[in-house]
A = this chain, B = another copy of it.
Amino acid sequence: MPIENYLPFWQKLTSTQRDTLSRTATLHRAKKGAVLHNGAEDCEGLLLIVEGQLRAFTLSDEGKEITLYRLLSRDICLFSASCMLGSIQFDISVEAEQDTTFYQIPPKIYKQLMEESAPVSNYTNELISSRFSDVMWLMDQILYKRLDSRLAAFLLEESTLSGTTELKITHDTIARHLGSAREVVTRMLKYLQSEGAVTLSRGNVAIADEKKLRKLARESLR
């Protein structure tokens, strides 16, 4: 798995630039659960994922998380090198959600490449824009779409994915998926239970009335 297979702009680099990249990029392995980047103080460099899965999330002072996006094979994590972009002024954290193999490219090297090469800079533009779009979508979901509908849609989706109406999932996990707080989700689940749409027990959410949930999920999609 040479690094050139993972960089779409490789063909447009000079041989000096290729040499520099090959020489300075280092291959790493992270165990599932490992934190690879933690807020603005870190600047490890770009993470180029060979195999595995990373999760980027924000973390509030109170320890509340929102998952922003996920990175899979061939994706590049740019914000772990945010020191190279003066205008990036927010903190995200990145953890391995699966055992992950990745290349790490030093921020200085990449910054220099961007300055020399329009293709590298343009590719970086697309990366940032793409993550920006992810976050804007999330913000839209959270700010505009009502939580009852989103919760209903989420439960139906989980049920389809797992092939059962008995979901083994904690309120905390649901809250993190929906960018909400556990208490808010618990309250909304209780509301859904009181409406007869779900049945709650410890670590378990059972879909009691799929039709009702579908109706709820639909109403936000007007």
Contact = CB atoms under 8 A, between A and B. Distances in A.
Interface stretch (A141-149, A166-174, A194-202): A141-149
Interface in A41-84: 58, 60-62, 64, 66
A100 B202 CA distance: 53
Contact of A62 (B85, B88, B120, B144): B144
A88 to B, nearest CB: 5
Contact of A121 (B86, B87, B122, B132): B122
Looking at chain A, what size class is its interface with the partner chain? 35 or more
Report, nearest first, the 4 A-B pairs whose CB atoms are least far apart: A121-B121, A87-B130, A87-B129, A90-B136
Interface of A: 58, 60-62, 64, 66, 85-90, 114-122, 124-133, 135-137, 139-140, 142-145, 179, 221-222
13 contacts: A62-B144, A85-B126, A86-B126, A86-B129, A87-B125, A87-B133, A89-B133, A90-B133, A116-B118, A118-B118, A128-B128, A132-B135, A139-B139
